[in-house]
Amino acid sequence: MQSILRNYIRRHATAATRQNSSVNASEISFFSKLSSQWWDEHGEFAFLHRMNPIRMQFIHEKVREMDWEDGATSEEKISRRSALDGLKVLDIGCGGGLLSESLARQGARTLGIDASEANIAIATLHSQADPNFRVSSASPSPSNLSYRQISAESLLAESGPEQYDVVCSMEVLEHVDNPADFLNSCAQLVKPGGHLFLSTIARTPLAYFLTIFTAETLLRKVTPGTHTYSKFVNPGELVEYFQNYPTSLTSKATTTEAEVRGMIYAPLRAKWHLASRTASLWGGDLVNGCNYLFWVRKPNVSPSQ
Amino acid sequence: MASTRHVPFRLLKAGRHALRTRQYSSARVSDDCDIVIVGGGPAGLALASALGSSAASNRLRIVLVEGGDLSKVHGWSLDSDVYSNRVSSLTNASQSFLRDIGAWSHVEESRTCPMEDMEVWDGVSDARISFHASDVPTTGSTEGQQMARLTENLNLQRGLLRHLKTHPEIELIDKTKVESIIRDEEEGQWPLVKLANDRILRTRLLIGADGFNSPVRSYARIPSYGWSYNTQAIVATMFHSPPSLYQNSLHTTAYQRFLPTGPIAFLPLSPTASSLVWSINPPELAQALVASASQNPSVLASMINAAFRLPTVSLKYLYDVVMDARTKGVAIDGEAITKEIRWREESHGIDGNSTYASSSTQLSQGMPSLDAASLPPLVTSIQPGTVASFPLKYNHAETYLGEGLGARTVLVGDAAHTVHPLAGQGLNQGLADVECLSKCIAEAVANGGDVGSYTALLPYAQERYIANHTIMSAVDKLHKLYSTEFEPVVWARSVGLEVLNELDVVKSAIMATAGAHSSKTTNSADAAAGINNGWSVVAKGFESYASTVKAARMASQGAVGLIGGGLEGIGRIITNLSK
Ligand SMILES: Cc1cc2nc3c(=O)[nH]c(=O)nc-3n(C[C@H](O)[C@H](O)[C@H](O)COP(=O)(O)OP(=O)(O)OC[C@H]3O[C@@H](n4cnc5c(N)ncnc54)[C@H](O)[C@@H]3O)c2cc1C
Ligand SMILES: C[S@@+](CC[C@H](N)C(=O)[O-])C[C@H]1O[C@@H](n2cnc3c(N)ncnc32)[C@H](O)[C@@H]1O
């Protein structure tokens, strides 16, 4: 089955690359090979499984915080079971759907997309075993979780900009070609007033040591070749990118409208923590020097006005 | 979920039921659940209650399956002066958990009894340790000065059921056994739970609260490590006269004497009733005692009184009498055994008016002797129908989480661990499991996680495994040390040398205050350290009376020479040469 998938991917990936500037064919075939491992919580992607709760916590916190800042006192918002309930959410580079499933369980109408067909196949298969997402003939309406094999650029071309309340792309940036183009596509898909969440690995010696050396070389927890050091993006670079973003994704209140939070791994407890909000953006090398979460909000007024 | 998102809660539940039934292979229908709890014992009911009172229950479909008849538990009722024979000491930590989830108000508190002091002594050397509620580290709570509360298991279970009545969203299926558990090979390998009524539940998470012979543990292929103590514990409800007027008129002291055959415990329920837990090795002796009690309950009463008072040589003789009667198939003459006990007391030089005289007829009349508080009141009769016995074993599952083919399973309570009852911790451990697991589940739900996933459940296993292991090995070691009459060991335990660490652990478990366990944010190492921190406050309670001059001399040498500084920080040794 692996080889069938692989062949399938090879064809599709190369086809996709032609129109998709950010898709790196070798990266995609790499993840496709590992696709059957997505839901093995002890396997290759164990770290992503363990990271998931704090990624969700961060997304939830920021969206709710902005709801309150916008004066969300309306009954509608308070009675929702979560800040994500009913929102239209896009998960770019969803892999096996680890984050997509959690988003959908929180009530978000979630679309997971990935450049790899094999990943989309695994994600779909997995969601079909779960009654939370199963599309049943008895059910009057479709599930709020769906998957598509498509790149962010193609989706943007197909649907046009400003489609999603929340766009997430977790641990993808370090695997793409032309990160600036990729970020641009992500940003364009966000509705005005909507949120963009990213997580990635910073390009610091510590990040190199923890991710590549320790995980790949020393512990063999992650298949060697998963990460390429030169692709790691620093938090400062991300913030700078959005500060200079032509359509001014960030509003004037830059400081409150973008946030970087480090993720710290406690090996003894095998658990990820969200670094405190006060941890400095630039100084705290240890905190932001490795895996980190990034959030930015699109101004409410459409840039065309 | 998607389809019913905006439907009000009640409708949503009803709607979901309809949607969630689906066709299963060979035309069977399976029911989709998020959580199936197997077992409606104290652990299972407490877990259902905790989940019911958390926000998680609004988003999850939760079903509890129990083989027995829960309506009997719900309808359980006894007159105020009689008690069920299964009683547990609930620690302050357990009570505060039950209060937090809103279940404690459904427990009939007037039937419970605070335990304020505990007298524990060595049947061979008479070295004694006293635990006092005043040693409990105060946390500013309103719980007052008690170290635990003796509660009939049925009172607790009924309270939990009453609480569950206020959470109808949690489905209780009773009088229905789980017949088999298999994997859903067609989709996702989720557990399929087949009930005796042919219903099949397909579940995201399967929780084994199903006791020592846990079918969930077998399904998950989790090996369990342990042994039988070759011991039976006799339980019974005992009646006695109230403690003397000169003492605190409430009877709030628990007594436990360690005999070479096992510990015997006297747990207060009311001024005139107490609960017995008498662990006896060999089990044949326990059975003979139970048999003698069925013929003549006063024999057991006399034997209990003797077991708290007579030296072990004389007890051995009495055991022989009981065993002999059993082998010959004859009833024991109650009069004769009382006479025998009296004669033995005289020959041991015990004054008939002393508290140590079990056959004393004065009972509470007259001046109480000075040593009155150090022994339990004399048992006058046994509540009919309350004598029973249970085999004791040590068991600890290798892990609490199923993996691989046994994924989506988790164990709590006796399904995960059984321990000797000498420290009264089994049920408390189960409640601590439940508190921790329910918090993990709530956290997973809050983050949109899959509550059956290993990742969601891992913090539970990490926190509880070490905490349980610490208590269990300490209890087990105490049991082993106290079942020997080997002189050096007797000496060492009398001066606290051998047992100090174990006593630390056990005592802090018994005196665990609110929030002492649980709190997902502390890691296991911190929790273990916490145990020791809580302990230092209790140090002054450690008093060891060595009963013989020899032991006393060794003890004083020991205190200065051998243990010196080490003991100073922990407790003081008082050598009592006069006795
Ligand atoms: C003599 C004695 C004294 C004790 N004293 C104390 C004390 O002072 N303090 C203390 O904390 N602890 C004490 N304990 C321990 C305490 O009683 C136990 O730890 C506690 O009862 C365990 O509760 P549980 O719910 O885990 O298991 P159980 O009470 O064993 O409940 C398991 C339930 O699962 C059900 N079940 C099993 N299989 C199936 C199936 N296939 N289908 C459906 N249902 C099923 C059973 O019917 C049962 O109701 C004592 C124990 C003994 C023996
Ligand atoms: C490390 S995984 C992260 C998966 C998932 N977001 C998570 O965190 O659980 C990276 C994923 O991004 C996908 N990917 C890489 N480049 C991409 C691109 N340009 N467009 C879409 N997906 C891409 C890969 O196929 C892979 O599934």
Give me B479's structure tokens. 């049991």
**CA of B524 to nearest chain A CA: how many angstroms apart?**
9
Sorted by sequence, the CB contacts under 8 Å of residue B196 that are 6+ apart come out as B176, B177, B178, B179
CA of A291, nearest ligand number: 2
Yes or no, beta carbons of B450 and A103 under 8 Å apart: no
Which of B453, B476, B505 is the C-terminal boundary of a domain?
B453
Q: Residue B341, Cα to own-chain centre: how many angstroms?
A: 32
Q: Which residues, in sequence order, are bridge partners of residue A114?
A: A149
Pick the range with the lowest mean pLDDT from A20-29, A110-119, A221-230, B562-571.
B562-571
Contact pairs from chain A to chain B, CB under 8 Å: 90
Q: Is B403 on the interface with A (CB under 8 A)?
A: yes
Q: Give the CA radius of gyration of chain B.
A: 25
Same domain, B543 and B404: no
CATH number of the domain where residue B434 is located: 3.50.50.60
Helix (H) or strand (E) holding B514: none
Query: So what's the pLDDT on residue B481?
Result: 84
Yes or no, beta carbons of B462 and A269 under 8 Å apart: yes
Q: Please indicate, yes or no, if residue B95 is contained in any of the structural domains.
A: no
Rounded Cα distance between A169 and A185, Å, is: 11
Q: Which residue of B has its CA nearest to A104?
A: B448
Q: Please indicate, yes or no, if residue B460 is contained in any of the structural domains.
A: no
Query: So what's the pLDDT on residue A213?
Result: 58
> How many angstroms separate the alpha carbon of residue A153 from the centre of ligand 2?
14
Same domain, B43 and B61: yes
Q: Of ligand 1's atoms, which has the minimum distance to the CA of residue B44?
A: 25
Which chain B residues are within 8 Å of A268, Cβ to Cβ?
523, 525
> How many angstroms separate the alpha carbon of residue A155 from the centre of ligand 2?
15
Give me B26's structure tokens. 């060979």
Same domain, B252 and B336: yes
Rounded Cα distance between B394 and B469, Å, is: 11
Query: So what's the pLDDT on residue A209?
Result: 58
Torsion of CA A187, A189, A190, A192, to 10 degrees: 100
Please, what is the angle between helix B524-536 and helix B500-510, to 10°?
A: 100
Q: Which structural domain, as residue segments, surrounds residue B268?
A: 229-390
Q: Are B402 and B207 in contact (CB under 8 A)?
A: no
Find the CB nearest B187 among A60, A109, A128: A128
Rounded Cα distance between B436 and B94, Å, is: 12
Residue B572 φ then ψ, to 5°: -120, 150
Which of B369, B390, B411 is the C-terminal boundary of a domain?
B390
Q: What is the pLDDT along chain B (579 residues), one digit of tens a residue?
A: 333 333 333 333 333 333 445 544 444 567 999 999 999 999 999 999 999 999 888 889 999 999 999 999 999 999 999 999 999 999 999 999 999 999 999 999 999 999 998 898 988 888 888 888 777 665 545 445 788 999 999 999 999 999 999 999 999 999 999 999 999 988 889 999 999 999 999 999 999 999 999 999 999 999 999 989 999 999 999 999 887 655 556 788 999 999 999 999 999 999 999 999 999 999 999 999 999 999 899 999 999 999 999 999 999 999 999 999 989 888 888 888 888 888 888 777 666 666 666 655 444 444 445 556 789 999 999 999 999 999 999 999 999 999 999 999 999 999 999 999 999 999 999 999 999 999 999 999 999 999 999 999 999 999 999 999 999 999 998 888 888 888 777 777 776 666 767 777 787 887 776 544 433 333 333 333 333 332 222 222 233 322 322 333 333 333 322 232 222 222 222 222 233
Handedness of CA A215, A219, A225, A229 (dihedral sign): positive
Place of tokens 């007594």: B255
Query: So what's the pLDDT on residue A32?
Result: 83
Closest Cα to residue B205, out of B13, B358, B410? B410
Same domain, B484 and B527: yes
Query: So what's the pLDDT on residue B358?
Result: 63
Sorted by sequence, the CB contacts under 8 Å of residue B479 that are 6+ apart come out as B229, B262, B263, B420, B422
Find the CB nearest B450 among A101, A143, A144: A101
A2-297 in CATH: which number?
3.40.50.150
List % helix, strand, coil for chain B (3-state, nearest 5): 40, 25, 35
CA of B95, nearest ligand number: 1
A149 to A13, B102, B143, B521: CA distances (angstroms): 10, 49, 60, 39
Find the CB nearest B455 among A41, A84, A144: A41
Same domain, B20 and B67: yes
Kindly list the protein residues whose Cβ atom lies closer than 6 A to any atom of ligand 2: A 22-23, 27-28, 31, 48, 92-95, 98-99, 114-116, 119, 151-152, 170-172, 175-176, 182
Sorted by sequence, the CB contacts under 8 Å of residue A161 that are 6+ apart come out as A188, A189
Same domain, B276 and B316: yes
Same domain, B372 and B398: no
The stretch A209-237 carries a mean pLDDT of: 66
Which burial class, exposed, middle or buried, applies to B309 when counting CB atoms under 10 A from its CB (0-12, 13-18, 19+)? buried
Same domain, B304 and B409: no
Q: Please indicate, yes or no, if residue B108 is contained in any of the structural domains.
A: no
Output DSSP code: residue B330: -
Overall number of domains in chain B = 3
Same domain, B288 and B347: yes
Q: Looking at this predicted complex, what is its ipTM?
A: 0.80
Which chain A residues are within 8 Å of B519, Cβ to Cβ?
none
Which chain A residues are within 8 Å of B58, Cβ to Cβ?
81
Q: Please indicate, yes or no, if residue B48 is contained in any of the structural domains.
A: yes
Which chain A residues are within 8 Å of B190, Cβ to Cβ?
129
Q: Which residue of A has its CA nearest to B188?
A: A129
Same domain, B171 and B276: no
Query: So what's the pLDDT on residue A102?
Result: 97
Q: Where in chain A are the domains?
A: 2-297
Give A110-145 pLDDT, tens digit per residue: 999 999 999 999 999 999 999 999 766 555 556 899
Query: So what's the pLDDT on residue B541?
Result: 29
Same domain, B176 and B259: no
Same domain, B309 and B296: yes
Q: How confident is the model at residue A276 (pLDDT cuts 50, 70, 90)?
A: low
Q: Please indicate, yes or no, if residue B301 is contained in any of the structural domains.
A: yes
